[in-house]
Amino acid sequence: MVFGAPTSHVQQNPPPASPPPTAPQSQNPAPAKNGSSTIRRVTQLVQLVATVTDRRQKFITDLDESDFHILDDGHQQKISFFSRQTDLPLRIALLLDTSNSIRDRLNFEQDASIDFLTDLLRRHKDMAFIMTFDNEPQVVQDYSEDIDILARSIEKQRAGGGTALNDAIYSASQHLLQAPPAPGQDPAVRRVLVVFSDGDDNLSDHSLEDALDMAQRAGIAIYAISTNTNWVALDGETVRKLHESQGEKILKQFADQTGGRIFFPYSTNDLASSFQDIGTELRSQYLLAFLPDSLVPNGKFHTLKVETDRKGLTVRTRKGYFAPTASGESEISAAPGH
């Protein structure tokens, strides 16, 4: 299968930068000579993976640190680390809806997911695991770089049961946090969750907010492929999507809040450009990190926004992070470059 890659504004990248130093989550009080304790100071390095596109949705990969501004709850922050992330090993969670609601589209899911892995996975570098969900999520094939093993697992799946989408995203995010590191001196990897679903949920124990919180705490980008069939043929050949279903709006929320994207393909052939976009995007991103000016250990969710001075560009990244709690628990933060 031949794909047309989107044109990008690319310049020669500088040598890979060293990962940002890992900031301590907190500093415990130390007894003073007079028997009192020092004030407990909480510090946390917040890391963001950002994608920049122009009005034509072409990826922009030639920006510098000075082109970016980070706003934490509306307050501008000093960037502590910046690098262009173009070739990190991928750790992919492929999440397949196998509930009754997508029975008519199961073959579409299977063909599409196998095509996706075939196009994106690089042997000896990238790895993926397969998770299905109906009444509950289940890892049916753990991390592997072997396309044949992954494809056979996908082909074995059958549809039936209810839909526990929120539980599946929650569990997949947790499993991504246990992803094998890259071999060699630099263990950094990029963690990604790709979900094929119509977005319906009727059985989850976790709420949408629970699942979204876990994905955000893990710093994972969610890419959603809609399997909804609300399309209409206009002239016997041309098809058009009527509207976004409630399930698709939920999938879009997961994608938007985590810095990912949602796609609405009609057939497997339509997926070619979508897959190419995801692959190109994952290798056309920026890693930004900052130490918040003042961080209160209250577990509060902080809203993030990343802007650029260049006109006509859109920056996409996760929408926020969680502050530590008074007990010292904090956002589950991936290592630099994750």
Task: Please give the residue that has the higher pLDDT: either 32 or 321.
Answer: 321
pLDDT value, residue 219: 82
166-190 pLDDT per residue, tens? 999 999 999 999 999 998 888 888 8
Angle at alpha carbon of residue 152, lines to 130 and 161, rounded to 5°: 60
DSSP β-ladder status, 190-197 and 221-226: parallel
**pLDDT over 90 (residue 265):** no
Task: Kindly state the helix (H) or strand (E) to which residue 51 belongs, with its residue range.
Answer: strand 46-53
pLDDT value, residue 233: 63
176: tokens are 């991504």
Which DSSP string do the residues of 213-255 spell out, in sequence order?
Answer: HHHHHHT-EEEEEE----EEESSSS-EEE----HHHHHHHHHH
Q: Percentage of the chain with pLDDT > 90?
A: 58
Looking from the CA of 240 toward its CB, the CA atoms found within 13 Å total 5
pLDDT value, residue 43: 55
- Place 232 in a pLDDT band, splitting at 50, 70 and 90: low
Q: Percentage of the chain with pLDDT > 70?
A: 81
Return the residue matching tokens 């060293």.
Answer: 18
Please tell me the distance from the alpha carbon of residue 94 to that of residue 114, in angstroms, as a whole number: 10
CATH classification of 90-282, choosing from 3.40.640.10, 3.40.50.410, 3.20.110.20, 3.40.50.10160?
3.40.50.410
- Nearest to residue 134, comparing CAs of 221, 227, 197, 193? 197
pLDDT value, residue 251: 97
Average pLDDT of the residues of the chain: 83
Spell out the domain ranges in the chain.
46-86+285-322, 90-282
DSSP β-ladder status, 314-316 and 46-53: antiparallel
The answer to whether 165 and 102 have CB atoms below 8 angstroms apart is: no
The dihedrals phi and psi of 323, each to the nearest 5 degrees, come to -70, 160
189-224 pLDDT per residue, tens? 889 999 999 999 999 999 999 999 999 888 899 999
- Place 234 in a pLDDT band, splitting at 50, 70 and 90: low
pLDDT value, residue 332: 40
Task: Kindly state the helix (H) or strand (E) to which residue 282 belongs, with its residue range.
Answer: helix 271-282
**pLDDT over 60 (residue 42):** no
Of 52-66, 191-205, 256-270, the one with minimum mean pLDDT is 256-270
Strand order in the sheet with 79-85: 79-85, 285-290, 46-53, 314-316
Of 101-115, 139-153, 318-332, the one with minimum mean pLDDT is 318-332
Paired strand residues for 320 = 303
Of 20-24, 110-114, 238-242, the one with minimum mean pLDDT is 20-24
Task: Please give the residue that has the higher pLDDT: either 236 or 105.
Answer: 105
DSSP β-ladder status, 261-263 and 221-226: parallel
22: tokens are 């890992």
